[in-house]
Structure formats: C-alpha cells, structure tokens
Structure 1
Amino acid sequence: MRALLSGFALFAAAPAAALLPAGPETEAPAEPGAPVQTIDDRQEEGADERIAGRISGIFAELPAFQGVSVAVSEGVVTLSGEVPKQDDIDRAEAIAARVSGVVTVENGLERDVSISAEGTGLSSLADRWNGLLAMFPLIGLAMLVWAGISLLGYLIASLGTLWHRLAPNSFLAELIASAIRFVFVIGGLVVALDMIGAGALLGAVLGGAGVIGLALGFALRETIENYLASLMLSLRQPFRANDWVLIDDLEGRVIRLTSRATVLMTLDGNHLRIPNGQVFRAVITNFTRNPQRRFQFDLGVDADDDARAARQLGRDTLAELDFVLDEPAPEARIMEVGDSNVVIRFLGWIDQDKTDWWKAQSRAIPAVKEALEEAGFGLPEPIYRLRFDPRSATLPFENIAEAGRASETAPPKKAVRPVSVTEADEDVRPSNEIAEMVEKERRESGGEQDKDLLDSSRPVE
C-alpha cells in the first residue's frame, strides 16, 4: 500500500512539474581556451552617450523594459528600475552586455511584485485565461479526436465472435479485447496531447503511468501472477475436467479452471479452491491419464524364515487375483532387514477403468498375509530387548509368582464373532460417487461453469 501511495504522489507531482515555468538557466563557464575580451586604455568621445542611447532604444521596443533606466559611465552600464518577471532581470543584463563598448553591467533591476504589475497578479492571470479561451477550439478538437480513437478501439474490441474464434478460450479472448481497448485509449490520449502542444505534459503523463504501473505491479503481484498463471494453464491444459489429480499435497477431482483458481472436489466431497499461481508452480500428479496404476504394500516375515520363498509365494498370490494385471506382472522386493523381521514390498498393477485402486489394495493385503501365514511364515511383531541396570534392583518390581496367580484369575477374553465376507464385500469395481458429483455440478453450475477454461477439444499437455 505504501508503494501504491508513493506512485500516486509521483503521478500527481509529474504533471505539475511539467506545467511550472523553468528556472533561469545558469551561464556555462567560459572555456579555458576562449579568448579574453580586452578593455581599451582610452575611450572615444561620446561613447557613453552612444551606448546609453543604443541600450535605451532597444529597451523601448520591449514592453517588459519600459520602466528600466540606463546610465553609462566609462563603459560601465548601470541598470535600475523594475521589471515584471524574474527572468527579465537576467535578460536585460544579457542584452546590455552584448552592446559594443560595454565594459561591464551593474544590474540593479528588481522584480515588480505589485498586483497591477504586467505578467504578475491579475494581469498575468488575465493573460493566462485569455490564452486558455483561445485554445478552447483546439482543445475541443483534440478531445473529439481522442474520443474517436477510443470509440474505434471499443468497436474493434466488441467483435467478440472474431476474438473467440482466434483465441483458444474465452479468457484469452477477453484479454485480447481489453488490451485493444487500452492501446486505443492511450494512443488517442497521446495524439490529443500532441495536438495541443502539451509535450511536457505528455511526458509527465507517460512517466506517471509508468510509476503507477510499477507501484500496482508490486501491490497486486499475487493477483497478476494468478492471471498470468491462468493464461498459461488455459494454453497448456495440464488436466481435463473430472481428472483425479494430486497438486503438491492437495488431492481431488477437477471441477473447473477459472481465471483465478482451480476448483477441485476432494475425495471427501468438499470443494477445494487452489490459486492458479500455486497450481502453475506445483508438481501435478494425474492419476486418470494412465488407466494402469500400481499399488504396493509392505509385510515383514520372521528373520529365521526363507525370505526368498516368502517373496515368491506373495508374488504368486498376487498373480492369482483376478483384478491384478498379468502385464506388467506383479513384483515382490526384499527392502530391508528390520529388528525382528525381513521387510518385503509387494507390487501389483490394475486397470482403473475396471478396478478401484483402494479396493484392490484392500483385497491384496489380506490375501498375501493369509497365504504367508498358511504356509507357516511368521509375521512377528517388533521385539525389544530390555536390560535392567543393577542400580534399579531396589525398585518395587511386581513379583513373577503373583503375576502368574493374577493371570490365572483374569477373566477369559471374549471370542470374536465370526463375520462372513460376501461377494459384494469383495467387489473391486470402481466407485464413481465423486466423479458423478463433479459431472452433476458441471451441468448445474450455470454462469460460473460458462467461464471454465478447460477445453476438451484441445490436446492435453
């Protein structure tokens, strides 16, 4: 916000500085090699009167110097009186110094600051007003030219059908139309200011516009970044509607791509809006693009068992499952030797068009586990070895005999009620609840859906 205010201050100051009169220019110092004017040791008779008459005659032809008195003695010119403007003081001295025979100029002129003085006060205001009135026809013509050029730009930008035909999506078409309007309005303003001769004001306006653009760029950086990211995403089309994607750590199905955000429906059925700037920078994983997807899980067998046999048995078990693809074939990899087991990772591929990924993994894990247990492989829990410090012998540890009697009197554990698994429970067909919700919302969203930048007719990146 501070940068924005600074930009407005500079923009307001620039035109004012352009309209203010320029200060008196300082005389450039004489070059070291320039010849120095010499003064004669004698003066011609009547030279002072001739110089005074010449300077007075020149001043008589200039209205600003009507009240200036000129006195000359031995070539030294003394100017006295009052002039309307500050610049006239230096101007009178420069004129007098250029007359032949002048040795030097003693400038005693002062500026007339009275209200009735010419060039100041009411007189100056009246002159400026008269000048403004004289420029009214030219200013009106310039404004008409500006309005005509701007109107032409709006007419060209209103050819929506043409821009929608040339642009790949509606967002880019609207961006092209806005750019055309902006260019014609600014171009018309430049032509109008040039017509009235406001070159300094034109430079100030363009400079102020640059400062404001810089300030707005910093203040609205995230908004501008989102719009640019929206443009790039609309051109690249990284996903389709209803694709199951993972954007960094955000997962869901794509509902739409707007000019500011990508809208997802999470697997819990909630709406998730991600700014397009974040989407453009993120790593996007698309689970829908390739129908074949791999699942994996880890199981640990007893370290004393044959890990290679367990690996082979688990791989064969996965291959026997009807939803696991034969190509690519299932795999089993020995990952590491743990504290009390050998960790084996089992991997299998499914066709997502026919099989739900979560259901497939949920069926594969118990199938491999049961096969290993039936074959006699142990799936041990972590084993921890405890070493008691002799210094802790005085601690009141529980007596083993008492613990044994307590276990004898402990109530028996309740038996687990057997549960029968039906064919419906083993169904691995894809669940389309979220996909159906997305399709329903896309059909019923109305105006918001009309601004969707996803285009199914264009190739996906």
Structure 2
Amino acid sequence: MIFLRLLALILCLATPVLAQEGTITSGNGTNAEQGQADAAMATRIRDILHELDGYEDVTVTVKSGIVTLRGTTLDLAQSEALVGLIGRVEGVVAIENEVTISTDVRRRLMPMVERFQLRFWQGIAFLPLVGIALFAFGIVVWIGFFIARRKQPWDRIAPNAFIADILRAVIRIAAIIAAIVVALDILGATALLSTILGAAGIIGLAIGFAVRDTVENFIASVLLSVRQPFAPNDAVKIDGHEGKVIRLTSRATIILSFDGNHIRIPNATVFKSTVINYTRNPERRFDFDIGVGYGTDLAAAKLLAEETVKGLPFVLTTPSVSSWTTELGGSDVGMKVTGWIDQRETGLLAARSEAIRQVLIAFEEAGIEMPEPTYRLLMNEAGTAEPAPAPAKPNVAEVSHDVMNVEATTEHELEDIVDAERDTERQDLLRQDATKE
C-alpha cells in the first residue's frame, strides 16, 4: 500500500517534466520545418533570378517567409520589378528590397557590347536573305517601271499626254511600294511597313500644308486638261483678263492679251473662275449706243438704224438686228443698236466701228438730230455772252457710203503670234482635237 502511494507521487512529479520535454521537442520540429521552407523558397527565387538577365549580382535570404534582397542592378526599373516578381512566389510574407543601382562602368557597358555583337552576327547570318530581298525588290521595281514606260495602254486610256504621265508616275510609285512590301516580307519585318507608312503619311501631310497652293494648282491642271474648257487661240475672258489662249501648263494658263502682253493665271484661279469663251460660238454680237434729240420720231429712228445695220454685208441675218430705247438723257434719248457677225471672218471692233459710221450717215441724210450733251459759253469784249457758232455739218454728198474693210485682220495676226508661241518646245496640256466640255 505504501509502495503504491510512492509510485503515484513519483508519477505526479514526473508528468510536468515530461510535458515540458514534449513541448520542447515539438518546437524544435516546427523550427526545422520553417527553415526547410525558407531554404526551398530562397532556392526557387535564386533559380528564377538566374534565368533573368541583369540580376546576377542580387543575393536572396529568406527568414520566416520574409525575403531580403541585396546587391545591385543596372537600372532602377529592374530593381523595382523585383518586388512584383518575387511577390508572386508562394509563401512570401514580405519583401525587403535593398538592391541599389550599379555604378560599375564595365558592368554597365558589357550588355551594350553583347547586344552589338549579337546584332552583328545576326546581320552576318541575314546577309544571304538580305541579298534575296534586294533581288526581289529590284525585280518588282523593274517590272513596274517597264509597264510604266510603255505607251499603251496609258496613251489610249488617258485623255491627254499629261494624264498619261500621271498614270505612269502612279504605276512607278505603286511598284516601289509593292517591292518594299515583298522585301520586308522576305526578311520577316512587315511590322516595319506600318511604321514607314505612318511616317510617310505625316511627312506627306506636312508637305501638303507647306505647298498647298502648288498642289491645288496641280490638281486644277489635271481637271482642266480633262475638261478642256478652251482650246489654243480661243478668245476668252478669265478673272477679268481677256485675250487669246496660248497654252495650259501644269501650273498656269497663259493667254495673250489684245494689247500683246502675256498673262499667266494660276490654274486654281482658272478652275474656280467664270470662263467666258468668245470663240466657241462663231456668231458674236456687237452693240453700240447712239442718242437722238427730243421730238424725234423714235419709231422711224429705230427702223432706220436697224435697216442700215441689216444692210451691211458682214452682218448676219440670223440672229437678226435689233434696237431699243435705253434712257432719257439730259439732252437726248439713248438708243442701243445690236447686230451679229461671223467672227471667223469679221473683226468685232471693225464691224462695230463701221456700223456706227453707217448709222451716223443714215441719220444725217434723214435729218435726225443728234444733239451734243455739252454746253459752251463764250464771252465778248463787253462781257456779254455770244451764241456759240453751230458746228459745221458735213456735206452728206461728200461722205463715202462704201462699206469699209472689216475683215478680222487683227484677230488673225494675234492668232499667228499665238501659233509662233506654241511652236516652241514647252509643256502644253491643250489639244485642238480634244473633247470640249
């Protein structure tokens, strides 16, 4: 009985000690497992950094899931990228980034040297492929230029030589672009094409704004060469300028004024302006104003003027001669008389001048008064006014009734000047046989 009590007392005293030893043993086991996990994590992080460039000098220590990074990198971006990279590793609790930027000159230059050597040897390896790409580029360009040099079908398709040259230029540009695409495709660098086209678009936009007027004139030249609103030697009025058309160039329309001066009008202005072509219709109307005194039989004066003009041999019967009263002046009644001529044979100014002369003779013979619109006051020695002597009336019997020469001599002489100008070897977009709009 005493023995059992002693055994129970010994067991009671030994239980706390055994419990403490069991706790110590368990704690040691936990620490060992944590150490193994930290070591495995450090090894994994080192393996990851080993596969990446620029982290050769970075050391890794892990304690209780806390990762400490030390060492140097080549730039700040690599150092900051470590945090995000290691943060994705399983089991990482926190990261202490003590990595700094390296100032070692040799280390900082070595990557550049290595990249240069790599690019050099890659270029050497690509030389045969570059040769094939250049050969393909040359073949495509040669084919495009060969097609562009042919006269047909461009001369048949285009309305004139200027448009044909533009089509040939478009074919050449398209051939060059196609050759670049083929060459880049052989080299596997088609991604550069979008960059090249983007840069070309920006450059083209800048050039377009810089030479906007030149581009506008060029486009107007193309449209005018297609439309052909006038032909060489046509008498036209453009933007207030009158004259004979000499030529149409890629920049301007050149006309010879009736004073014999050369006038260059930008094609953009010509295209946007109202163009009056006097030559397109061979029949042309001339007109003049004449005044008769108050009290004159206007119906008789009107009939006499029309019959006089109608009787001139150079005046056309259709359209017919006409006249009408225009205004009531201070001393006369205004009338306008019109007639039509064939301007291919008759000069406009000469016909108008002769018609006025013949109407004046007819009015003088009929006794129709044409009063002067001015007044004169003459003073004698006594200071009193004397009546002005009446102007001497011409002797109608002595005035020649013969019709004067009204041939279009001046117009033909101007046409000869224009033809001489056109014989020189200069650019001209006009054709006599072109379809007129």
Unaligned runs of 5+ in 2: 1-29
Q: Report the TM-score when normalising by structure 2.
A: 0.80
Report the equivalent of 2:361. Answer: 370
Q: Does structure 1 conserve the Cα–Cα contact (< 8 Å) formed by 2:68 and 2:98? A: yes
2:382 counterpart (388, 397, 402): 402
Report the equivalent of 1:427. Answer: 405
Residue 131 of structure 1 deviates from its aligned partner by: 3.7
1:330 counterpart (321, 344, 350): 321
1:436 counterpart (416, 429, 432): 416
Q: Does structure 1 conserve the Cα–Cα contact (< 8 Å) formed by 2:70 and 2:97? A: yes
Amino acid at match of 2:97: N
Q: Aligned partners of 2:305 and 2:395: how far apart in 1?
A: 28
Q: Does structure 2 conserve the Cα–Cα contact (< 8 Å) formed by 1:114 and 1:121? A: no
Q: Provide the secondary structure at the position in 1 that maps to 2:106.
A: coil
Counterpart check, 1:273 vs 2:251: no
1 or 2 for the larger relative contact order (CA 8 Å, sep ≥6)? 1
Residue 424 of structure 1 deviates from its aligned partner by: 9.1
Report the equivalent of 1:45. Answer: 34
Q: Does structure 1 conserve the Cα–Cα contact (< 8 Å) formed by 2:181 and 2:190? A: no
Q: Aligned partners of 2:340 and 2:91: how far apart in 1?
A: 109
Q: Aligned partners of 2:434 and 2:131: how far apart in 1?
A: 50
Residue 373 of structure 1 deviates from its aligned partner by: 3.5
Residue 423 of structure 1 deviates from its aligned partner by: 9.1
Counterpart check, 1:114 vs 2:94: no
Amino acid at match of 1:429: E
249-258 or 292-301, which deviates more: 249-258
Q: Does structure 2 conserve the Cα–Cα contact (< 8 Å) formed by 1:317 and 1:367? A: yes
Q: Aligned partners of 1:207 and 1:95: how far apart in 2?
A: 36
Residue 117 of structure 1 deviates from its aligned partner by: 1.7
Residue 250 of structure 1 deviates from its aligned partner by: 1.7
2:135 counterpart (144, 153, 172): 144
Superposed CA offset, 1:427-452 (max 9, x none)? 1122121122333443x32x32xx43
Q: Does structure 2 conserve the Cα–Cα contact (< 8 Å) formed by 1:116 and 1:123? A: no
Amino acid at match of 1:48: D
Q: Aligned partners of 1:354 and 1:59: how far apart in 2?
A: 100
Superposed CA offset, 1:259-311 (max 9, x none)? 23323222233333332222222222222221211111111222333333322
Residue 183 of structure 1 deviates from its aligned partner by: 1.3
Q: Does structure 2 conserve the Cα–Cα contact (< 8 Å) formed by 1:339 and 1:383? A: no
Q: Aligned partners of 1:291 and 1:318: how far apart in 2?
A: 19
Counterpart check, 1:456 vs 2:436: no
240-249 or 169-178, which deviates more: 240-249
156-165 or 205-214, which deviates more: 156-165
Q: Provide the secondary structure at the position in 1 that maps to 2:309.
A: helix
Q: Aligned partners of 2:200 and 2:227: how far apart in 1?
A: 32
Q: Aligned partners of 2:332 and 2:393: how far apart in 1?
A: 29
Q: Aligned partners of 1:341 and 1:225: how far apart in 2?
A: 53
Residue 196 of structure 1 deviates from its aligned partner by: 3.6
Counterpart check, 1:68 vs 2:58: yes
Structure showing greater radius of gyration is 2
Report the equivalent of 2:150. Answer: 159
2:44 counterpart (54, 68, 78): 54
Q: Aligned partners of 2:347 and 2:133: how far apart in 1?
A: 70
Alignment of 1:52-451 (within 5 A): 52-84=42-74, 86-117=76-107, 120-198=111-189, 201-382=192-373, 402-404=382-384, 426-431=404-409, 432-442=412-422, 444-445=423-424, 447-448=425-426, 451=427
Unaligned runs of 5+ in 1: 1-41, 387-397
Q: Aligned partners of 1:161 and 1:64: how far apart in 2?
A: 64
Number of equivalent positions: 402
Q: Provide the secondary structure at the position in 1 that maps to 2:242.
A: strand
Going by fraction, where is helix more abundant, 1 or 2?
2
Superposed CA offset, 1:4-33 (max 9, x none)? xxxxxxxxxxxxxxxxxxxxxxxxxxxxxx
93 and 133 in structure 1: CA distance in 2 versus 1, 3 angstrom threshold: farther
Q: Does structure 2 conserve the Cα–Cα contact (< 8 Å) formed by 1:301 and 1:377? A: yes
Residue 160 of structure 1 deviates from its aligned partner by: 2.9
Q: Aligned partners of 1:78 and 1:84: how far apart in 2?
A: 19
Superposed CA offset, 1:376-435 (max 9, x none)? 33322335899xxxxxxxxxxx98652459x79x9xx999999x8779981112212112
Q: Does structure 1 conserve the Cα–Cα contact (< 8 Å) formed by 2:228 and 2:436? A: yes
Q: Aligned partners of 2:324 and 2:341: how far apart in 1?
A: 18
Amino acid at match of 2:213: E
Q: Aligned partners of 2:168 and 2:407: how far apart in 1?
A: 48
Identity across the alignment (%) = 41
Superposed CA offset, 1:75-97 (max 9, x none)? 22121212345553344333311
Amino acid at match of 1:452: D
Amino acid at match of 1:427: N
